[in-house]
């Protein structure tokens, strides 16, 4: 449950449009990204958000991505009687 509480974002990556520049990997203050050994159809090695739960939604990666291939979606935390669940929050800057 701690895991769920800490999670602030869902990171979407359009891997098929990524050109593997590494900007997101290097720039993230929370070291969320990591390079994989996967090559996309364009022939570039793509990153993945391995530590999504660490994200603080600063949007540095999203604004720096030269291929407009990252979307950091902010999540909201909703309480109900039975459990704690993560839901999509409306998109906000």
Binding site for ligand SF4 (CB under 6 A): 9, 11, 28-30, 32, 55-61, 72
Q: In the complex with another protein, which residue's Cβ is closer, 67 or 81? A: 67
- By the 8 A CB rule, do 74 and 7 touch? no
Shortest Cβ 1–ligand SF4 spacing (Å): 22
**Unique residue bearing structure tokens 């997101």:** 24
For position 14 contacting another protein by CB under 8 A, the verdict is: yes
Report the alpha-carbon distance of residue 93 to residue 90 in Å, rounded.
10
Length of the chain: 93
Q: Which of residues 38-77 bind another protein (CB under 8 A)?
A: 42, 44, 48-49, 52, 60, 63-71, 73
Listed residue (21, 24, 80) closest to 52, CA to CA: 24
Alpha helices in 15-82 (DSSP H): 23-27, 60-64
Q: How far is the CB of 37 from another protein (least distance, A)?
A: 16
C-beta closer to another protein: residue 68 or 81: 68
């Amino acid at each position: 449950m701690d895991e769920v509480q800490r999670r602030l974002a869902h990171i979407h990556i359009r891997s098929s449009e990524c050109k593997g520049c590494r900007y997101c990997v290097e720039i993230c203050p929370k070291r969320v990204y990591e390079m994989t050994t996967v090559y996309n159809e364009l022939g570039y090695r793509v990153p993945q958000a391995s530590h999504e739960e660490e994200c603080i939604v600063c949007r540095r990666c999203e604004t720096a991505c030269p291929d407009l291939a990252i979307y950091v979606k902010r999540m909201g935390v909703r309480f109900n009687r039975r459990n704690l669940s993560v839901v999509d929050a409306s998109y906000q800057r």
